[in-house]
Amino acid sequence: MSVFTAPDFAGHEQVVFASDPACGLRAIIAIHDTTRGPALGGCRMWHYASEADAVADVLRLSQGMTYKSALAELPLGGGKAVVLGDPAHDKSEALWRALGRAIDRLGGHYVTAEDVGTSVADLETVRTATAHVAGIAEGGSGDPSPATAFGVFMGMQAAVRHRLGGADVTGLRVALQGLGHVGLCLAEHLAEAGAELVVADLDPGRVDAAVERFGARRAESAAIHAEDVEVFAPCALGAILNDRTIPELWAPVVAGSANNQLAEARHGGALAEHGVLYAPDYAINAGGIINVSHESTRTGRPYDRQAAYAHIARIHDTLARIFEAADAEGIPTSVAADRLAEARLRQAA
Ligand code: NAD
């Protein structure tokens, strides 16, 4: 397995393999870029098919965090951690404390937070071994998911205005894939705004709850991207926009929270050719990290939810700017977002 020559290596500053055989910890911490500040990004726990898959995931996710924070103009760099294991069976207090010690040895260059497979409770245990933890209740802003969902809701409205010319999402049909921490909260915003929901999740209990609470219609997880709706909102796992799904998309707008929605970078171009306006994932799902950047440990002032949410609402304008640049230059929105993020990184350098 190679790291320096991996396709996603992208000039990472540091990649650390952490192990503790006593508790079974096997983790990889990737610090992509600290030009704008300490590398902040969540810790994912996942049952990877191979170590190579875990390396590819952490490299790709941490670079995404660099771009996400640069685009949101935060004083933060990009990093990510992955713990190799099954979140349903392999968690223990000893494991989280061992991860905390590994993070602490990096002296604050990497700051961790919640991600897929980890919870605020897990992070609170990590916090007993290191101060470099964000997004937990104690002294912080808590679970970042509601903030992420609010940002997606703002960004979705920018996309709807740009592509469909309407004022907001009232009366529009939105297909929501994934009713987890973010998806459920996004469903609340959409239902409140008068959107019609079509939902899918691998967990039938979550689908039943959404049908009952929001009058949503249920769809098959494997086919929800092909629903006849105005907006497809991927809020589950990545690589949902690929060679198979893009030709099947009916929605003129794709706007959701999932990280790494494009299976490969070229799929940004494929979406544009298919006539779909794609809200680049790291631009629209930055609400959580923007919220974390308002925590007292980062600002020196008490966390102010109103100020944080006003900042998150600016995701609307960032996306509008990306859409306009893509139109003006005749490039996919994913490329326009990358160019804006890279310009902001260069400014900081
Ligand atoms: P979560 O684990 O709470 O929820 C994910 C949901 O998706 C679960 O209910 C799961 O059953 C469902 N799911 C998984 N595969 C599916 C499939 N093929 N079809 C339908 N449903 C499926 O995760 P979350 O925190 O809500 O995050 C969702 C996505 O948003 C992830 O990609 C995450 O990386 C991204 N994201 C989250 C945040 C945040 O603040 N939580 C921030 C930025 C990005």
Q: What is the pLDDT along the chain (349 residues), one digit of tens a residue?
A: 788 998 888 899 999 999 999 999 999 999 999 999 999 999 999 999 999 999 999 999 999 999 999 999 999 999 999 999 999 999 999 999 999 999 999 999 999 998 889 998 999 999 999 999 998 766 667 788 999 999 999 999 999 999 999 888 999 999 999 999 999 999 999 999 999 999 999 999 999 999 999 999 999 999 999 999 999 999 998 899 999 999 999 999 999 999 889 999 999 999 999 999 999 999 999 999 999 999 877 787 888 899 999 999 999 999 999 999 999 999 999 999 999 999 999 988 8
Q: What is the pTM of this model?
A: 0.91
Ligand 1 pocket: which of 154, 201, 312 to mutate (most atoms within 8 A of CB): 201
Taking CA atoms only, the protein residue closest to ligand 1 atom 40 is 145
DSSP string, 145-159: HHHHHHHHHHHHHHH
Residue 72 and residue 110 in contact, taking contact as beta carbons nearer than 8 Å = no
> Are the folds of 14-66+76-126 and 145-285+316-348 the same?
yes
Residue 91 known to be catalytic: no
Region of 85 please: left (phi>0), alpha (psi -120 to 50) or beta.
Answer: left
CA 128 to each of CA 20, 96, 97, 133, 312: distance values in angstroms, whole numbers, following the listed order? 17, 9, 7, 10, 30
Nearest Cα residue to atom 43 of ligand 1? 285
Q: How far is the CA of 232 from the centre of ligand 1 (A)?
A: 15
Question: In the CATH scheme, what is the code of domain 145-285+316-348?
Answer: 3.40.50.720
Task: Tell me what pLDDT residue 137 has.
Answer: 65
Give the DSSP letter of residue 179.
-
How confident is the model at residue 322, as a pLDDT?
Answer: 98
pLDDT score for 223: 96
Residue nearest to atom 8 of ligand 1 (CA): 180
Q: Where are the domains of the chain?
A: 14-66+76-126, 145-285+316-348
* Spatial distance between the Cα atoms of 202 and 177, rounded to a whole number of angstroms: 9
Q: Whose CA is nearest to atom 32 of ligand 1?
A: 258
Kindly state if the Cβ of 177 falls inside 6 Å of ligand 1: yes
Centroid of ligand 1 to alpha carbon of 117 (angstroms): 9
Per the residue annotation, which of 80, 109, 163, 206 is the catalytic one? Answer: 80
Does domain 14-66+76-126 fall into CATH 3.40.50.10860? yes
Q: Could you tell me which of 281, 247, 244 has the C-alpha nearest to residue 262?
A: 281
